[in-house]
Amino acid sequence: MSDIVREGDYVILYHSPNLRFLTKVEKGRRLDTIKGSIILDYVIGLEYGSKVKTSLGYEFVVTKPRIEDVMFELYKRPTQVIYPKDAAYIILKTGIGPGSIVIEAGVGSGFMTTFLAYYVRPNGKVYGYEKRPEFLEIAKKNLEKTGLLNWVELKLRDVVEQGFDLPDNYVDAVVLDLGYPWEMLSEIYRVLKHGGSAAVYLPSILQVYKMLDRLKQFNKFIDIEVVEILLRNWKIIPEELRPETWMIAHTGFIIFMRKPWNFRNF
Amino acid sequence: MSDIVREGDYVILYHSPNLRFLTKVEKGRRLDTIKGSIILDYVIGLEYGSKVKTSLGYEFVVTKPRIEDVMFELYKRPTQVIYPKDAAYIILKTGIGPGSIVIEAGVGSGFMTTFLAYYVRPNGKVYGYEKRPEFLEIAKKNLEKTGLLNWVELKLRDVVEQGFDLPDNYVDAVVLDLGYPWEMLSEIYRVLKHGGSAAVYLPSILQVYKMLDRLKQFNKFIDIEVVEILLRNWKIIPEELRPETWMIAHTGFIIFMRKPWNFRNF
Amino acid sequence: MSDIVREGDYVILYHSPNLRFLTKVEKGRRLDTIKGSIILDYVIGLEYGSKVKTSLGYEFVVTKPRIEDVMFELYKRPTQVIYPKDAAYIILKTGIGPGSIVIEAGVGSGFMTTFLAYYVRPNGKVYGYEKRPEFLEIAKKNLEKTGLLNWVELKLRDVVEQGFDLPDNYVDAVVLDLGYPWEMLSEIYRVLKHGGSAAVYLPSILQVYKMLDRLKQFNKFIDIEVVEILLRNWKIIPEELRPETWMIAHTGFIIFMRKPWNFRNF
Amino acid sequence: MSDIVREGDYVILYHSPNLRFLTKVEKGRRLDTIKGSIILDYVIGLEYGSKVKTSLGYEFVVTKPRIEDVMFELYKRPTQVIYPKDAAYIILKTGIGPGSIVIEAGVGSGFMTTFLAYYVRPNGKVYGYEKRPEFLEIAKKNLEKTGLLNWVELKLRDVVEQGFDLPDNYVDAVVLDLGYPWEMLSEIYRVLKHGGSAAVYLPSILQVYKMLDRLKQFNKFIDIEVVEILLRNWKIIPEELRPETWMIAHTGFIIFMRKPWNFRNF
């Protein structure tokens, strides 16, 4: 709590709810705002919670960023990501938590990876697979900014073609957000611990059909579920209390499955 | 992984997806199943993953329970609890994770508390307030079975009347599932760290109105949101793919709010 | 308004919201209720709105039934029917109204047929196709009770095999609730007037896929839409205002399509 | 079917799904399109279904408009109206159909009125109340274009202040879309026939509360229901079958109620 800002830290410089900046503290850098500039050199060595003044005399609080602040900064328009409503339910339902060993494929820009890394701390691990090098690079940068890269091992690999380079019965959970998850059933089964869970995220319903059809043939997973989650926001003005006019009606379908505890097939 | 079953442990004795038992391993106890009995004395000292035979010759695997298995056992009919779909989103949205210091009030039978304790491990803490001693007792037993009691400090206290017995700026998040949350605004504000979040769970829309109205008067929290989350299950038979006929259409509304980072009121 | 009850009429004998009977007025019949009996002979010749006394002295009002009352009586457990929420939208969206010439296939027990007949009055017509004679018989009885049989021509015919026995460009709308609607595209097209609409009701999403796929190949219909309608009931106790806990999450998907006005293909 | 276009008729001049015009046929007028112009004089006297050529040689079909075409033209951006999904359910649920006598208040721009008039034809009547003269004027023009003005009696009147100028027990149904419907309970009760239904459309949930509270005090209506209707569109490309990303999550809540058949209060 009496933490000191060090060079290289990401901090939030906070003036008001609508004027806050996530920035990396580096020598020789300056942050320019509509309320004036802040020389970042002066921030180094301050206690978190301290105030700094801009060139125009406005006060900003030096704040330690939290996961939600960083996510908010990094993914202002979170298209093509697993939405928080879905990410939250995937994590809870698969039992991913502190100490979990998790596979994620594909990583994309690292949005889901960030959540996973956040929850497996301090003694778990996320293996993040992605076949497109440019996305892996973006994900790496995003994870760095969140300070969560330590808990992630990013791997450039086409897992649909090549599988996971991990031992049998090794991971607690697998999260898949890629194109042909039904090609990976035996590989998911192999790598999961007994009792471990997988979650597969699929935008279109025909993909869900294909997945269910292959799961039925494969016939080894238990506790199969298909869900979709709808989040409805309400207006917050008391006298006008009603749901917002528009909502996101579809992000993706989630399929859950589990490797049973016993060791033979049945 | 090469863990040994000790007396007092909770284990799952697993035969098949529909025949599995969560039980405490105690000397002199016997588990009776439709496939025969198991003397629990013999389970002590076995490695997890070992098999035991029932009196009728059927094999059960001795399995280390995970959070979801225990939850499933403890709360088969989860009425009057914060549902997983809601719990998951509350946890993610408030940033509750490993190391978080969290208040929950009221605890009830401990369903939400279990999730919270699971996620703040290994170095966080949940302060669980409940004013009804009989519920506190149930919650204690449930948390014991999940092995998560270490991360929870249960407190018999009417917080609406007496507030929290915790210092200012002390907790990362507050989760409220009780009757008059609007009476607690200044107390929630006091106890939250700057940037900390609160989530309030309310079944009826008039309570939401009251809460929003008081939040508007109180005028110190930021990032206020009101949401409801709908989970729709689909049939998993591929050829009959369609949403299940019935769904739970309402559990509760969730109000999120946040204490801003700066230290004066505005 | 000064209508007289005639023999053979269906009337409602109404005591209270929860004690009301739909019955056919026939000589020599007696209606037995928990508040006593009513000899139906005495009802003949009364004005609608008159009161009759039971053998135990309780008063019942002789009421002219409306469509909703009869529907309520006939279909207390409306499984396997097109639900009112869906029926209403189908009717409005296809423009079915007074004077419309409409095809319905298959009729089933006549639930949707009843609505259609109700709305095409007094100068329209519903052609109701059904291949199972036992259902056609049930539908006929139900339509008789509603007094709407005059506007319906029921036809025993397997339209998927044999098509409609009606001229080209003849009907304003087609409503389909049967197994293989995609086999009927050219027949639907043939029988619709230019600008006419069809609505196809399908329980499973794979059927929707098949239909869309065939519509794409057929390539003659315009204004194609796929919708699902969700109806959420709220509790009506003011202080407990909130959505009902359970709702029907799925009845069927509705596909709308329209025959364009011009006469060549395009 | 062998109808002739007369001066003053509204027709659709149809070239393709995306190029169609609703227009009034008047002597001396010309319709300009991107495919050339059409002199409307030449359309008079043609049979519906005939083709006309534009100045550039493109063919348009002279089509008799249907209700949905006119609605589509008149209300391209249907903000602040009762949506079709809601209108359809209100009509079916209140039993409004051919021959019904209906009150609507307030009329607004006449969107709901149009539907009501369409369904009460040919022998019913809609009494449309509106207190703002400018809206009444717009509604009148819209109803004229749809050819449905004959079935509507528009009345400039503040019904919350002055009530309906209609006899007791006179109408089959009342549809309310105005600000203080709870002030009108005894007036709605008075004017409804026994067994008649009312539907009240309310955007905000606090209005629903107020309405339910007053209904409880008034204590004369039966069969009270509160519903909201959600319509979810799906993409129509077969291979990409999934719900559209965005949907309208809220239009309004609908409260239904009914005047019981018996004549005393209870």
The model's pLDDT over D82-112, given as tens digits with 9 standing for 90+, comes to: 899 999 999 999 999 999 999 999 999 999 9
Please compute the mean of the pLDDT values over residues C93-103 and round it to a whole number.
96
C232 dihedral zone (left: phi>0; alpha: psi -120 to 50; beta): beta
Disruptive mutation site among B211, B234, B251, B263 for chain A (greatest number of A CBs within 10 Å): B234
Please compute the mean of the pLDDT values over residues B199-227 and round it to a whole number.
96
Classify residue B238: in a domain, yes or no.
yes
Question: What does the pLDDT look like over B8-34, one tens digit per residue?
Answer: 888 989 888 788 888 989 999 999 999
User: What is the percent of chain B with per-residue pLDDT over 70, rounded to a whole number?
Assistant: 95
Confidence of residue B49 (pLDDT cuts 50, 70, 90): confident
Please compute the mean of the pLDDT values over residues B57-75 and round it to a whole number.
83
Question: What does the pLDDT look like over D238-249, one tens digit per residue?
Answer: 999 999 999 999
One domain, residues B58 and B78: no
Question: What does the pLDDT look like over A124-174, one tens digit per residue?
Answer: 999 999 999 999 999 999 998 888 999 999 999 999 999 999 999 999 999
Tokens representing A215 are 């799961």
Q: What does the pLDDT read at residue A66?
A: 80
Q: Measured between beta carbons, which residues in chain C are less than 8 angstroms from residue A205?
A: 205, 209
Res. B107: pLDDT tops 60: yes
Q: Measured between beta carbons, which residues in chain B are less than 8 angstroms from residue D205?
A: 205, 209
One domain, residues C56 and C110: no
What single string gives the DSSP state of each residue in chain C? ---B--TT-EEEEEEETTEEEEEE--TT-EEEETTEEEEGGGGTTPBTT-EEE-TTS-EEEEE---HHHHHHHHTSS-TTS--HHHHHHHHHHHT--TT-EEEEE--TTSHHHHHHHHHHTTT-EEEEEES-HHHHHHHHHHHHHHT-GGGEEEEE--HHHH--SS-TT-EEEEEE-SS-GGGGHHHHHHHEEEEEEEEEEESSHHHHHHHHHHHHHH---EEEEEEEEEEEEE---GGG-SB-SEEE--S-EEEEEE--SSSS--
Classify residue D3: in a domain, yes or no.
no
What is the rounded distance in angstroms from the CA atom of residue D35 to the CA atom of residue D58? Answer: 6
Residues of chain A with pLDDT under 70: 1-2, 76-80, 262-266
Classify residue D89: in a domain, yes or no.
yes
Provide the CB-side half-sphere exposure for C241 (13 A, CA).
26
Does the distance separating the beta carbons of A232 and D249 come in below 8 Å? yes
Classify residue C263: in a domain, yes or no.
no
Residue of A nearest to C205 (CA): A205
Classify residue C266: in a domain, yes or no.
no
What backbone torsions phi and psi does residue C79 show, to the nearest 5 degrees?
-80, 155
Q: Where among D65, D80, D106 does a domain terminate?
A: D65
One domain, residues A57 and A94: no
Q: What does the pLDDT read at residue B263?
A: 53
One domain, residues D241 and D157: yes
Does the distance separating the beta carbons of D240 and A250 come in below 8 Å? no
Helix (H, G, I), strand (E, B) or coil at A139: helix
Which of A205, A232, A242 shows the shortest C-beta gap to D205?
Answer: A242
Residue, of C74 and C113, whose pLDDT is higher: C113
Neighbours of chain D (3+ CB pairs under 8 A): A, B, C
Classify residue D112: in a domain, yes or no.
yes
One domain, residues B35 and B115: no
Q: What does the pLDDT read at residue D75?
A: 74
Confidence of residue D255 (pLDDT cuts 50, 70, 90): very high
What is the rounded distance in angstroms from the CA atom of residue A189 to the CA atom of residue C11? Answer: 65
Please compute the mean of the pLDDT values over residues C90-116 and round it to a whole number.
96
Q: Which helix (H) or strand (E) holds B152?
A: strand B152-156
- Nearest-Cα distance to chain D for C28, in Å, is 26
Q: Measured between beta carbons, which residues in chain B are less than 8 angstroms from residue C240?
A: 204
Q: What is the interface size between C and D, counted as CB pairs within 8 Å?
A: 174
Does the distance separating the beta carbons of C122 and D98 come in below 8 Å? yes
One domain, residues A32 and A86: no
One domain, residues D77 and D197: yes
Q: Measured between beta carbons, which residues in chain D are less than 8 angstroms from residue B206?
A: 209
Q: Report ipTM for this prediction.
A: 0.91
Does the distance separating the beta carbons of C246 and B245 come in below 8 Å? no
Report the CATH number that the domain containing residue A58 is assigned in CATH.
Answer: 3.10.330.20
One domain, residues D22 and D130: no
Containing structural domain, residue C43: 10-65
Question: What does the pLDDT look like over C18-32, one tens digit per residue?
Answer: 888 889 899 999 999
Question: What does the pLDDT look like over A103-121, one tens digit per residue?
Answer: 999 999 999 999 999 999 9
Res. B166: pLDDT tops 90: yes
Does the distance separating the beta carbons of C235 and D17 come in below 8 Å? no
Q: Which residues of B touch D (CB under 8 A)?
A: 205-206, 209
Q: pLDDT averaged over chain D? A: 92
- The burial of B162, by beta-carbon neighbours within 10 Å (0-12 exposed, 13-18 middle, 19 or more buried), is given as exposed
Q: What does the pLDDT read at residue B68?
A: 75
Q: What does the pLDDT read at residue A119?
A: 97
Q: What is the interface size between A and C, counted as CB pairs within 8 Å?
A: 5
Please compute the mean of the pLDDT values over residues D178-203 and round it to a whole number.
96
Question: What does the pLDDT look like over D124-154, one tens digit per residue?
Answer: 999 999 999 999 999 999 998 888 999 999 9
Name the domain count of chain B. 2
Q: Measured between beta carbons, which residues in chain D are less than 8 angstroms from residue A83?
A: none
Residue, of B126 and C195, whose pLDDT is higher: B126
Question: What does the pLDDT look like over C150-177, one tens digit per residue?
Answer: 999 999 999 999 999 999 999 999 999 9
Closest among A122, A129, A120, A66 to A95, alpha carbons compared = A120
User: CA of B117: how far to CAs of A42, A119, B9, B136, C5, in Å?
Assistant: 39, 13, 18, 15, 71
Question: What does the pLDDT look like over D11-70, one tens digit per residue?
Answer: 989 888 788 888 989 999 999 999 999 999 999 999 988 899 999 999 999 988 887 777
Residue, of A18 and D251, whose pLDDT is higher: D251
Res. B53: pLDDT tops 50: yes
CB neighbour list of residue A141: distance below 8 Å, 6 or more residues apart = none
One domain, residues A192 and A135: yes
- Nearest-Cα distance to chain A for D242, in Å, is 5
Q: Taking a C-beta distance cutoff of 8 angstroms, is the pair B266, B221 a contact?
A: no
Report the CATH number that the domain containing residue B241 is assigned in CATH.
Answer: 3.40.50.150
What is the rounded distance in angstroms from the CA atom of residue A202 to the CA atom of residue A177? Answer: 7
Neighbours of chain A (3+ CB pairs under 8 A): B, C, D
User: What is the percent of chain D with per-residue pLDDT over 70, rounded to a whole number?
Assistant: 95
Please compute the mean of the pLDDT values over residues C87-112 and round it to a whole number.
96
Classify residue A264: in a domain, yes or no.
no
What is the rounded distance in angstroms from the CA atom of residue A206 to the CA atom of residue A192? Answer: 26
Does the distance separating the beta carbons of A250 and D249 come in below 8 Å? no
One domain, residues B46 and B89: no
Helix (H, G, I), strand (E, B) or coil at B60: strand
One domain, residues A141 and A212: yes
Classify residue C109: in a domain, yes or no.
yes
Q: What does the pLDDT read at residue B266?
A: 37
Q: What does the pLDDT read at residue A266?
A: 36
Which of B239, B240, B249 shows the shortest C-beta gap to C245?
Answer: B249
Please compute the mean of the pLDDT values over residues C85-91 and round it to a whole number.
96
Q: Scanning the structure block, which residue is given the tokens 């919650």?
A: B139
Q: Determine the residue type at B224.
A: I
One domain, residues B17 and B98: no
